Structure 1
Amino acid sequence: MRKLFDETRLNGMLLQNRLVRSATWEGMCEDDGRPTAKLAAYYGTLARGGVGLIITGYAFIRPDGKQLPGQLGIHTDSFATDMLALTDAVHKEGGKLCLQMVHVGGQTSSKAIGTQPVAPSAIKVDQYPEEPAELSCDDIAELVALFAEGACRAKEYGFDAVQLHASHGYLINQFLSPLTNRRTDTYGGSVEDRCRFLMEVYRSVRRAVGKEFPVLVKLNGADNLAGGLTLDDALVAARLLDEEGVDAIEVSGGTPASGEETPVRQGIETREQEAYNLSLAYRIKQTVSCPVMVVGGLRSYGIVEGIVRREEADYVSMARPFIREPGLPRRWQGGDESRARCISCNGCFKPGLKSGGIYCVVDKIERESRGTSL
């Protein structure tokens, strides 16, 4: 019987448990994407808290693929020393660090990047701040190569794995979705052709890092959006990735335009509200042979443990609970199985915009009221 605190391997990468810190933007980098000592310390704290695999905040592969201030970049060799500090901070604590790579496509703005955003099609949809320019085939080939270059850097800098962000309405997801992909060439139309960009990126990355280096993909099980990616489409993408040898698929859902079914939902107060992507992840797990991770509203030890025990997913991913409690894995493993203290208010992201890094504002208020420090 599988257990939450089993040791496992992903393509040779040894993990001390099945708990994953799912990627979240931390806002702890310089304007150009250079990581800071603050970010290295943050990842070190997560590793010390017992997280089995830490996935970084989304790292842009080209400056026009950036979305938020303080976002990590993997587009240049000049960050090598600072990147090595990130991996060293995690490895000193016995942890593993996976670099998530992204281009956000139409989900950025000319104000943020200084030029018109790009996307599969030049159309304005609710999830885009403005109408983007359509990528040419030459542009697409360049982006495919840049993902591979980013993966090479990650391997060189000591990251233990890489993950391609194909969820949440970002560029790869924009190609997958019939709502945002209106192309009439080989990158649009049928679901297989809408998967073409994802598969070219995956193959390019795999060639760059080799068969022995873990390559993961974060995939929407559905966009939860009229006209967007459906579960049936996601199953096709998952099967194609599985056939090509992907090492794990992390299943999420939704885009910023998905109303109450966005990737980061608020008010997760009851067990019934938790694990809101589990049905999607389980369908994908039934379709593929590779390990499957599930993210989305997980808060209770009993639910997390049950998902693993019943083999509904192989790994469970969380983000916001680890912002409030980086030591949550140690607490659960030590026998205190009470619910994660995160109240899903999303207040943790505001300091990333104003104070140079995310933190739990509720925990800070409580600590200050007790006269204790962070």
Structure 2
Amino acid sequence: MKELFDVTRLGNLELKNRCLRAATWEGIAEEKGQINDQTLALYADLARGGAAALITGYAFVLEEEQPSPKMFGAYNDTFIDAYKSLTDIVHENDSKIVLQLVYGGSFTWFNTESRVIWGPSAVTNKISGVTPHEMTPLDIQTLINAFGDAARRAMESGFDGVEMHAGHGYLLNQFLSPFFNRREDVFGGSSEKRARIIFDIFENIRKKTAPDFPILIKLNCSDFMGTKGFTFEECLALCKKLDTLGIAGIEISGGPVFRAPKTEKEPTLEVTLPAQDSYFSEYARVIAEAVSAPVILVGGNRSVETMENLLNETEISCFSFSRPLLCEPDLINKWKADKSVKPRCTSCGQCFTLDGNNCIQNREKAA
């Protein structure tokens, strides 16, 4: 019988349990993406809290493209030594750490007037209002190389793996979507051509890192836009292809999950998610049955009983958590001591602000 606290693996990476911290933009890095004492303190708390691996907040791979303020950077070699203190402190506290890599694209509100923002096509993002510049073939190759170089830096910094962020409306997700991707070259058209950039990034990362360095991906199971967006059938086909390439783990989410800002001047985002536990589990179940790579389920994981039922009724391997660990960094340890513990997180969504992510319960305590 499978349990949440079984030892398991992602590629060559051994995990002490099946619980991962999902990537979460914290908004606590320096202006250009460097980490600081606040970053180290947060990740030390998370590592001590019991999660087997921490997936970092997303890191931008090109210096001129930063989708959120005070996010991690990975765009030049100065980050290699700087990140060693972060990976060391996580390892010293008995956890693993994976660097999530991203290009934000048009799903951004940060400095949109002062930088060139790329997209697969010049399609206005209805949520942000940003119209990107259509990428040239040279732009695409530049981005592919940037992901590979960032992954090499992560490996040299002591990270245990990297995760490509291809969900939640960011650029790689837009390449997958026929709504955003209207190209007529080798990176557009059929679903396989729309996914080509992801395959090319994977191969570039593999070329620039050790043969067994774990590469993960975060994907929407669907964009929930009907045939206008990336569909579940396309997601399943993409996962099968990535499985043959040797992906170390597939984290299944869904989107888009944000409503438009209330006003253009004060864009307050509101999270819109289902209320039930583990709400993408049916999609993850089908994918896990079709691939040999471990499937990680994110979204609404609140009950140990539900998760252990999924472990024993499906081929899902692991679970990742964002908001519950914003509220309680030590929640995994609490579950290890008592599986009946109910998280303090109420899924209210008020942790997300344009100034960063932190639980409103904790903000109220600190006030």
Give the 5 Å matches for 1:135-146. 135-146=135-146
Residue 151 of structure 2 corresponds to 151
Identify which of 284, 289, 292 aligns with 1:289: 292
Contact 1:223–1:258 (CA<8 Å) still a contact in 2?
Answer: no
Give the 5 Å matches for 1:17-56. 17-56=17-56
C-alpha deviation, 1:172, in angstroms: 0.8
C-alpha deviation, 1:144, in angstroms: 0.3
Secondary structure at 1:173's aligned position in 2? Answer: helix
AA of the residue aligned to 1:47: A
Distance across 1 between alignment mates of 2:246 and 2:141: 22
Distance across 2 between alignment mates of 1:116 and 1:128: 15
* Change beyond 3 A, Cα 1:266–1:228: closer
Contact 2:65–2:115 (CA<8 Å) still a contact in 1?
Answer: no
Secondary structure at 2:139's aligned position in 1? Answer: helix
Stretch moving more, 113-122 or 82-91: 113-122
AA of the residue aligned to 1:332: W
AA of the residue aligned to 2:50: G
Distance across 2 between alignment mates of 1:129 and 1:287: 37
- Give TM-score, length-normalised by structure 1: 0.91
Distance across 2 between alignment mates of 1:163 and 1:221: 16
Distance across 1 between alignment mates of 2:199 and 2:30: 31
C-alpha deviation, 1:224, in angstroms: 1.1
Residue 254 of structure 1 corresponds to 255
Distance across 2 between alignment mates of 1:145 and 1:304: 38
Give the 5 Å matches for 1:216-255. 216-226=216-226, 227-255=228-256
Count residues in correspondence: 358
* Change beyond 3 A, Cα 1:305–1:265: farther
* Change beyond 3 A, Cα 1:278–1:263: farther
Unmatched 5+ residue regions in structure 2?
A: 261-268
C-alpha deviation, 1:65, in angstroms: 3.1
**Residues 53-98 of structure 1: CA distance to partner in whole angstroms, max 9, x if unpaired?**
1000010101343211111110012233331111011011011000
Give the 5 Å matches for 1:56-135. 56-109=56-109, 111-112=111-112, 114-135=114-135
Give the 5 Å matches for 1:190-339. 190-226=190-226, 227-256=228-257, 265=272, 268=275, 273-339=276-342
1:189 aligns with 2:192: no
Contact 2:32–2:73 (CA<8 Å) still a contact in 1?
Answer: yes
Residue 178 of structure 2 corresponds to 178
Residue 372 of structure 1 corresponds to none
**Residues 121-180 of structure 1: CA distance to partner in whole angstroms, max 9, x if unpaired?**
011131343111000001000100000000000000000010000101111111101111
1:359 aligns with 2:365: no
Secondary structure at 1:138's aligned position in 2? Answer: helix
Contact 1:66–1:113 (CA<8 Å) still a contact in 2?
Answer: no
Residue 371 of structure 1 corresponds to none
Distance across 2 between alignment mates of 1:112 and 1:123: 15
Distance across 2 between alignment mates of 1:267 and 1:6: 28
Distance across 2 between alignment mates of 1:15 and 1:111: 39
* Change beyond 3 A, Cα 1:276–1:289: same
Contact 1:120–1:134 (CA<8 Å) still a contact in 2?
Answer: yes
Stretch moving more, 205-214 or 182-191: 205-214
Distance across 2 between alignment mates of 1:358 and 1:240: 34
AA of the residue aligned to 1:250: E
Distance across 1 between alignment mates of 2:11 and 2:60: 25
AA of the residue aligned to 2:350: G
Contact 1:21–1:53 (CA<8 Å) still a contact in 2?
Answer: yes
Which consecutive segments of 4 or more residues in structure 1 shift more than 4 A? 256-259
C-alpha deviation, 1:217, in angstroms: 0.6
* Change beyond 3 A, Cα 1:277–1:338: same
Unmatched 5+ residue regions in structure 1?
A: 369-374
Secondary structure at 1:144's aligned position in 2? Answer: helix
Distance across 2 between alignment mates of 1:322 and 1:333: 15
Secondary structure at 2:111's aligned position in 1? Answer: helix
* Change beyond 3 A, Cα 1:216–1:264: farther
Secondary structure at 1:111's aligned position in 2? Answer: coil
**Residues 281-310 of structure 1: CA distance to partner in whole angstroms, max 9, x if unpaired?**
112112211110010111112112222232
Contact 1:15–1:53 (CA<8 Å) still a contact in 2?
Answer: yes
Distance across 2 between alignment mates of 1:136 and 1:19: 40
Distance across 2 between alignment mates of 1:5 and 1:285: 19
RMSD, matched Cα: 2.0
